[in-house]
Structure 1
Amino acid sequence: MIERFTDQQSNPGYMRWFCRRCGSAVPRLSRNKQYFVIPAGLLDDDPLAKPERNIFWDERAPWLLNIDMIPKFSEGIDSIIRET
């Protein structure tokens, strides 16, 4: 069953939709009603669409880094660092 929560504090009127049973976010219509927002965690396959931009970058969490600035490993933390 899908549940709706309407924010009354941080973003008054903004609605969040989620599964009442497991708490997962569910697809929803965008604010301008022009497209659907699909939470990435719901996808089983490559959606083919790739990220095009980071929005609200100035408001990001202080611990969030630009992914291009951190090392990339082939496998686990002890594996060889990949050249980008």
Structure 2
Amino acid sequence: MPVLVVSLKGLMHCTSCMTTIENALYAAGAKHFEYDLAAKVGKIVFENKDADEIILVDAIKKVGYDVDVMDLLEDWRLVRLFFA
């Protein structure tokens, strides 16, 4: 499964913010979402048949956050190399 690595901008400082984004991503087809508030970097795992980069980015924007795509990894197992 591919992984979209993102940086979220805007006022995001609590678990309620994270839950809002997480729910939007799951509704858009994401399988898993993790975000490091301190580093401001997130990982979105998805299946190509369920979602794509554009749909996931739009889902975040629709709930009021700006997002920058940092990377798109073709295999979730590669995440360990970058986020160990």
TM range (shorter): under 0.3
Could you state the TM-score of these two structures normalised by the residue count of structure 2?
0.22
Q: Which of these two proteins has the greater Rg computed from alpha carbons?
A: 1
Higher relative contact order, structure no. (Cα contacts within 8 Å, ≥ 6 residues apart): 2
Bigger share in strand: 2
